[in-house]
Amino acid sequence: MIPTNPRELEKILKRMGIKVEEVDAAYVEIKLKNGEVLRINNPAVALMKMPNKTLLYQIQAAEGSVQKMTPAPQPQQTAEYQPSEEDIALVMEQTGATREEAVKALTEAKGDLVQAAMKLLSQKRQ
């Protein structure tokens, strides 16, 4: 039978090698697999450190303090890669390509200098 007295319970856990600490948390967020987020405001959080180095967090909250939130969709980045002048100069120097060729190769390689240079060098050999 589990004792209802918190002090007795703490003594039993201590004998088992389990340390219990209170965590002073303002809120806890749990991200669900479907993308939604549960936000628990003003929870009572206990951290139990088990002897096998496992951490166990226990969260207790009033029913009205739990909110289910759907995150706003992240905007898609549609900006195309723009190579820097240093990258263009380096590719031109290493491959003997024109500026336009270097820019095109870097853009297609999304900034990968080695891939851009290899592409230009292989084109020159053909």
Helix (H) or strand (E) holding 92: helix 85-95
Check if CATH label 1.10.8 holds for domain 85-125.
yes
Question: pLDDT tens digits for 77-99?
Answer: 556 788 999 999 999 999 999 99
pLDDT of residue 87: 92
85 token code pair: 């002048």
117 vs 76: CA distance, rounded Å = 29
pLDDT band with cut points at 50, 70 and 90 for residue 71? confident
Residue whose entry in the numeric block shows the structure tokens 């007795």: 8
> What's the pLDDT tens digit per position in 27-50?
999 999 888 999 999 999 989 899
End-to-end CA distance of the chain: 83
Show contacts of 3-10: CB within 8 Å, 24+ apart.
none
Give how far Cα 69 sits from Cα of 25, 36, 38, 63, Å.
19, 6, 6, 15
Domain residue spans of the chain = 6-69, 85-125
CA distance 19 to 22: 10
pLDDT at site 74: 63
Residue 49 half-sphere exposure toward CB, CA atoms < 13 A: 8
How far apart (Å, rounded) are the C-alpha atoms in residues 27 and 34? 21
Greater pLDDT, 63 or 4 = 63
